[in-house]
Structure 1
Amino acid sequence: MASRSVLPFDETQWIIRIRRILDEEIELCDDQPISIFDVPKALLSTKPEAYIPQLVSFGPYHHCREELCDMERYKLSAAKRAQIHLPGMDLQQLVFNFTKLEHRIRAHYHRHLNLSKETLGWMMAIDVSFLLEFLQTLNKNNNERALQMIPSRMSHLVPLFLLHKAIELRSSSAQPAQSVLSSMLIGFFQEVSTFRGLGCPCTDINQHVHLLDFLYSNMVPRCTDKEESSGTTEEAQEESHCKHNHRKRATLNSIMGFLVKRGSKLISVLIDFMAGILLKFVASLPCLSVLSQPIEQLAQATEPSRAPDVQNKNLSPLLEEIAVPSVTELAYAGVKFCPTVGDLSMIDFSSESVTLHLPVIGVDVNSEVVLRNLVAYEASVGTGALKLARYVELMNGIIDTQEDAQLLRECGIILNHLKSDQEVAELWNGMTRSVRLTRVPALDKVIDDLNKHYNSCWKVKIRTFVKVHVLGSKELLGSIVVLLLLLFMGLQVFCVARGCVPAPYRMASRKVGA
């Protein structure tokens, strides 16, 4: 066994650190939940640049990275400009106010902050000053580089109450700090939110701990236990009410499905049996003995073709769980796509009108970063069903190619601000590695209804039957080729016997006779 490298251990520093942690934990409020987490390694390994800040850092987690030190002078400049808005105060006094909130600040972070009280106060004062200035000028400087600095990454956050405290110290009594911060948050939400038509967001800082939580709460409203139980009761009542009406239809569909399945299997067996007999008969003819070896190879090739079916059974169950037809396949089955204004609760599939309702989503250069971090935050908080993660899985399932993205764009569901529809398809296809398998009853019902409608469509059944049992049967294709060959040979013999020889053949005969 390989020997492990022993790191130097400073007992004195370890004891000091443990005592500091214990002192902090005693003074922390028990009702203050942790809200700023490290990105899970399973997600971080897929695309690190989507979770790690690339231009500027906010908060203590990425403060000491060398590649982000170039932006420190901009943050210091913003802190100097902030002193102009502090009547009778300087930056040192802002730091002093933040140091008094040390334990409340530390309570938001999942990882222990190995920083002194003064260092943490200075760090937060500089970051908050820069962030406030950035939010104020966000609407004026609406360009790609500015939007890339938006602190929407999960480990790249500062608590909202610090922004409120700084505004409270800056502003006079004429305009409350809550009103100023609300206007900033509304502008931030309008620029960053991927869903369109959500209306005015809730900007109460008592309900949101940081900017990412503010985004998530307004894009994916959290349902209370009472709402979930009432929704379950209503669904149960509706199901019991419709159960009697659809019982006969379900019975008829099951009988028809059983007959079609058994009938197609019987026809396939008969076709393979007749084709095998025909191929053996043709191969036994003396005049066609040359074709015996290719025919035997063709007959033997049918058995290895079943090997992929066995291998498919060993695939990851994740691929089976999120299996859903693509947009082009659904359109072939007669499904229409309708954009809706609202959040994820508006996703629905109407079997009567055969229409899939999806919320309008804008896709730009920042959409993937925002969605990935929202999904990671949703999984880390773990307060309920992972609705956004399941929505991402649904979009990944129905968007496979450029044509799928184009159809959704033409329907008005996707507002594409990228260069092409191919980039939209690649964005959603890459998101499948950043989510884990989840269960959301409302979205799972939509996926099940889509699969049921697609599998029950007669056009799909006929195409599947032809593809599997006709085009997939090499014996049948070989027998068709042999029959066509025999037909042409018989036609040629008939023409020669009847004297109806083609004109070019007659001219060639005359030249030889001359």
Structure 2
Amino acid sequence: MDLNSIFESSSSERRWINQISKMLEKEVRIDINDVPVSIFRVPTTLSSFKPEAYTPQLIGLGPYHRFRPELYEMERYKIAAASRVQNQFQSLEFKQLVDKLNEIEYKVRASYHKYLDIDGETLAWIMAIDGLFLLDFLNSYVNKKDSLSSLSTTAFLVDGSGKKLANDAILGDIVMLENQMPIFLLSEILTIQSSSPDLGKNLLPPMLMGFCKAVSPLKLKEDLPLSQVFDHAHLLDLLYHLTVPKLEEHHETDNGEKGGASLGGKTSTDSGLPWKFITSLPGISNFTSKAKENIKRDRENLSGQEMKGPLVEEIMIPSVSYLFDAGVQFYPTAGDITTIKFDQKTKTFYLPVITLNVNSEVIMRNLVAYEASIASESLVLARYTELLNGIIDTDEDAKLLREKKIIINSLKSDAEVAELFNGMSKSVRLTNVSFIDEAIDGVNKYFYNTKKVRTYNRMKKYVYSSWKILTLIAVVMLIVLMSLESFCSVYDCTRFYGTSS
């Protein structure tokens, strides 16, 4: 590692030496297994395509984004909220809280993947202010009788719409991977502030669970005991494990795919079919006209945009519109992601309900980023987003799912839903999850065995292959006729044929 990338000044170098010296001393040595790294930097392959979905826009929590100048404007509101909560306890002075948190400095440092080039006292001040601010914000997600204060973090905004905008912006920042704070730190703050050691154990779990239920786009596990909240590293980790079930069987590969080629998917690049001839055939016009429009639109999009991250091939499955035209019915389930399935007998595709609002994309993206960071054995959430990306190509696809109550859309339009999912998979590698892939395989088998699609494939196989030969013959004949015309313009062709002018 290049030391110049770590040390920007001699003071940075001295801080590093001091930290390493203290960590090597017996009294501050910690077991890495007791405090595993859980707060990662988002890989460039993910963040480069849409950095604003991973970088705090209003509030910086913890050391990663604490000193960004554009976030300084909100510092006074954070301090006001922290001071308000501190005064609520009326136990310790703020400096006393900082000194107490300084004692667990290295336990806090161990949670962060990146080296923190700040001294221990500065880190303790950051954790005290940001921790109290976060507790104040989460406080609004519990019953008023159990809350810390009747005031809200956005109380400084008088206008109602301003409060809503500020609340949405803060909420989006709080769920970002790089903006996480350890749960044990929040519990420690509550314990230090109270004479009762059980305050953190009793008050924090309802806060965190209430927040997760309020913001999650998908249905959460409901049987998690509140005591198990402390088994999770931070808020995003808790939300992920409440959203993604623990599977008994895993099947994951990097590049494997099931099913046939998608008729309407963006992986198809075959646009040489004689569309005028095909679209005149009964029963085919609806399929082929949509395919032509999709291919044209996708090529324009790919050529017109600057790709900053790797483009991952879309999952091979027909879009909602094609499936619906082929007789597939869509039905919402009341369960979590594991309820995804396709019933061959009833031709029904079961999908869990997903609620979308202004923060849903940020939440989904950061959950997927966290899933990739912890090297999960089966990237269930990534595969789920790949499925939605595969079946939602246009606003018509999003509209059909909305009408079937599978998507609850609070965004401006169905087009925004399509844009959301079509953009999410551009930086996420494909993975295989058994129950999702079984549903994809079942849908593909049904779709490609329908009469319309088999007719289309036969026409594509025989007519298109013949069309290339006919095209070649036509080109040759055209060249011959043009050559003959040129020859006759120079020589008198009538004498060769014995005809009069």
What TM-score, normalized to structure 2? 0.71
Deviation at 1:165, TM superposition (A): 1.6
Counterpart residue number, 2:241: 217
- Secondary structure of residue in 2 paired with 1:206: helix
Q: Structure 2 CA distance, aligned partners of 1:160 and 1:340?
A: 32
Q: Structure 2 CA distance, aligned partners of 1:158 and 1:99?
A: 15
Asked if 1 retains the 8 angstrom alpha-carbon contact of 2:7 and 2:13, the reply is no
Whether 1:196 aligns to 2:219 is yes
Q: Structure 2 CA distance, aligned partners of 1:12 and 1:164?
A: 32
Within a 5 Å distance, the mapping from 1:453-468 to structure 2 comes to 453-466=446-459
Whether 1:205 aligns to 2:229 is yes
Counterpart residue number, 1:271: none
Partner letter of residue 350 of structure 1?
D
**Distance of aligned partners of 1:428 and 1:228 in 2 relative to their CA distance in 1, 3 Å threshold:** same
Deviation at 1:444, TM superposition (A): 1.8
Q: Structure 2 CA distance, aligned partners of 1:190 and 1:144?
A: 20
Within a 5 Å distance, the mapping from 1:351-430 to structure 2 comes to 351-430=344-423
Q: Structure 1 CA distance, aligned partners of 2:180 and 2:419?
A: 28
What percentage of aligned pairs have identical amino acids? Answer: 43
Counterpart residue number, 1:145: 166
Counterpart residue number, 1:97: 100
Q: Structure 2 CA distance, aligned partners of 1:360 and 1:24?
A: 48
Partner letter of residue 443 of structure 1?
I
Partner letter of residue 41 of structure 2?
D
Counterpart residue number, 2:40: 37
Q: Structure 2 CA distance, aligned partners of 1:19 and 1:87?
A: 35
Partner letter of residue 205 of structure 1?
V
Deviating above 3 A after TM superposition, structure 1's stretches of 4 or more consecutive aligned residues are 5-16, 138-142, 169-176, 196-203, 463-478
Deviation at 1:402, TM superposition (A): 0.9
Q: Structure 2 CA distance, aligned partners of 1:406 and 1:73?
A: 43
**Distance of aligned partners of 1:195 and 1:14 in 2 relative to their CA distance in 1, 3 Å threshold:** same
Asked if 2 retains the 8 angstrom alpha-carbon contact of 1:360 and 1:413, the reply is yes
- Secondary structure of residue in 2 paired with 1:357: strand
- Secondary structure of residue in 1 paired with 2:249: helix
**Distance of aligned partners of 1:334 and 1:362 in 2 relative to their CA distance in 1, 3 Å threshold:** same
Partner letter of residue 56 of structure 1?
I
Q: Which moved more, 1:325-334 or 1:197-206?
A: 197-206
- Secondary structure of residue in 1 paired with 2:82: helix
- Secondary structure of residue in 2 paired with 1:29: coil
**Distance of aligned partners of 1:124 and 1:329 in 2 relative to their CA distance in 1, 3 Å threshold:** same
Whether 1:434 aligns to 2:427 is yes
Asked if 2 retains the 8 angstrom alpha-carbon contact of 1:43 and 1:376, the reply is yes
Partner letter of residue 209 of structure 1?
A
Counterpart residue number, 1:21: 20
- Secondary structure of residue in 1 paired with 2:351: strand
Whether 1:319 aligns to 2:342 is no
Deviations 1:78-119 (A, max 9, x none): 122122222331111111121111111011000111111111
Which entry has the higher C-alpha Rg, 1 or 2? 1
Deviation at 1:475, TM superposition (A): 8.4
- Secondary structure of residue in 2 paired with 1:137: helix
Q: Which of 418, 436, 447 is the matching residue for 2:440?
A: 447
Counterpart residue number, 1:187: 210
Partner letter of residue 388 of structure 1?
L
Q: Structure 1 CA distance, aligned partners of 2:114 and 2:13?
A: 16
Q: Structure 2 CA distance, aligned partners of 1:41 and 1:16?
A: 28
Deviation at 1:138, TM superposition (A): 5.0
Unmatched segments (≥5 aa) in structure 2: 143-151, 155-162, 253-298, 300-309, 472-501
**Distance of aligned partners of 1:114 and 1:8 in 2 relative to their CA distance in 1, 3 Å threshold:** closer
Within a 5 Å distance, the mapping from 1:105-116 to structure 2 comes to 105-116=108-119
Asked if 2 retains the 8 angstrom alpha-carbon contact of 1:37 and 1:155, the reply is yes
**Distance of aligned partners of 1:318 and 1:17 in 2 relative to their CA distance in 1, 3 Å threshold:** closer
Q: Which moved more, 1:26-35 or 1:64-73?
A: 26-35
Asked if 2 retains the 8 angstrom alpha-carbon contact of 1:152 and 1:211, the reply is yes
- Secondary structure of residue in 2 paired with 1:456: coil
Partner letter of residue 410 of structure 2?
H
Deviation at 1:148, TM superposition (A): 2.1
Partner letter of residue 189 of structure 1?
C
Whether 1:87 aligns to 2:90 is yes
Counterpart residue number, 1:167: 190
Unmatched segments (≥5 aa) in structure 1: 233-307, 309-315, 479-514
Q: Structure 1 CA distance, aligned partners of 2:129 and 2:223?
A: 30
Asked if 1 retains the 8 angstrom alpha-carbon contact of 2:131 and 2:185, the reply is yes
**Distance of aligned partners of 1:95 and 1:332 in 2 relative to their CA distance in 1, 3 Å threshold:** same
Q: Which moved more, 1:55-64 or 1:324-333?
A: 324-333
Asked if 1 retains the 8 angstrom alpha-carbon contact of 2:312 and 2:425, the reply is no
- Secondary structure of residue in 1 paired with 2:101: helix
Counterpart residue number, 2:53: 50
Counterpart residue number, 2:200: 177
Q: Structure 1 CA distance, aligned partners of 2:339 and 2:346?
A: 16
What TM-score, normalized to structure 1? 0.69
Q: Structure 2 CA distance, aligned partners of 1:8 and 1:174?
A: 40
**Distance of aligned partners of 1:18 and 1:456 in 2 relative to their CA distance in 1, 3 Å threshold:** farther
Within a 5 Å distance, the mapping from 1:253-292 to structure 2 comes to none
Deviation at 1:16, TM superposition (A): 5.6
Partner letter of residue 30 of structure 1?
I
